Amino acid sequence: MAPDQLTILTVLILVVAFLYSSVGHAGASGYIAVMSLLELAPTVIKPTALVLNILVASIATFQFWKAGHFTWRLFWPFAVLAIPFAFVGGYMNLPTHVFKVLVGIVLLFSAIRFLWKPAEDIVRKEPSRVVAVPIGAGLGLLAGLTGTGGGIFLTPLLLLMRWATTKQAAGVSALFILFNSVSGLLGNISSTQRIPSFAIPLAVAAVVGGTIGSHLGSRRLPHTAIKRLLAIVLLIAGGKLILTR
């Protein structure tokens, strides 16, 4: 990678990590979006996004747990099968055109997620284990295949079904993303035997942005303007991936 391209990518990763962590996410879809816009290869995008996801999700998990927003009882039914299925998804390397379409759909879904606002921030019921366990398995597989942590799907589900408040959903999703990203990366390394060397400066940028963003986000309500900005970036990147196969 050329030095100027790496510099641009590093700055973008820092910004993405800050914005995503401030609203309770590790940022995988954002990392994938900026790397896609810079036309990096899928074989590079997937492991790099997972590495960055692990770092930022670790920070976000600590911040939201420290702020009292994590609940183990809600977390484990979704995670128990998601983790091994994320490994399977990480091990699999889809054809480039399939990967682009799948990730493009994920990015567009993510954009809708950031534009959508739940009517109420209350908990009406808890999910049954019979429902949560298979849902978690599906999200884990999708997380591994696309290089995301699955939280971009878990969070809106928890809110839509009124299974968690906004802060609880963010706390649970942070650890869900962390475990799935670790499992997915291990699966990917088992398959490819390598991690891109340029991931190191990106990792530093992600840690800086993620630390600041998650600290603010765990103590303040997410800003609507930030969500709208993220949605625009995801719409552009998702559309680009789908339309330029």
Query: No. of H helices and E strands in the chain?
Result: 10, 0
Q: What is the pLDDT of residue 74?
A: 93
Q: What is the pLDDT of residue 86?
A: 96
Q: What is the pLDDT of residue 52?
A: 93
Per-residue burial over 153-166, b if 16 or more Cβ lie within 10 Å, else e, is bbbbbbbeebbbbb
Residues 6 or more apart in contact with residue 188 via CB below 8 angstroms: 46, 47, 50, 90, 91, 93, 144, 147
For 71, counting Cβ atoms within 10 Å of its Cβ (0-12 exposed, 13-18 middle, 19+ buried), the class is: middle
Q: What is the pLDDT of residue 114?
A: 72
Three-state DSSP class for residue 158: helix
pLDDT tens series, the chain, 245 aa? 788 899 999 999 999 888 887 766 778 888 988 998 888 988 899 999 999 999 988 988 887 788 887 889 999 999 999 999 999 999 998 888 888 888 888 888 878 877 776 556 677 788 999 999 999 999 999 999 988 888 888 888 888 788 988 788 888 988 999 999 999 999 999 988 788 888 889 999 999 998 888 777 666 645 566 667 667 777 877 887 787 65
Number of domains within the chain: 1
Q: What is the pLDDT of residue 121?
A: 63
Q: What is the pLDDT of residue 226?
A: 62
Structure tokens, 156:
């809106």
Which structural domain range is residue 104 located in? 3-243
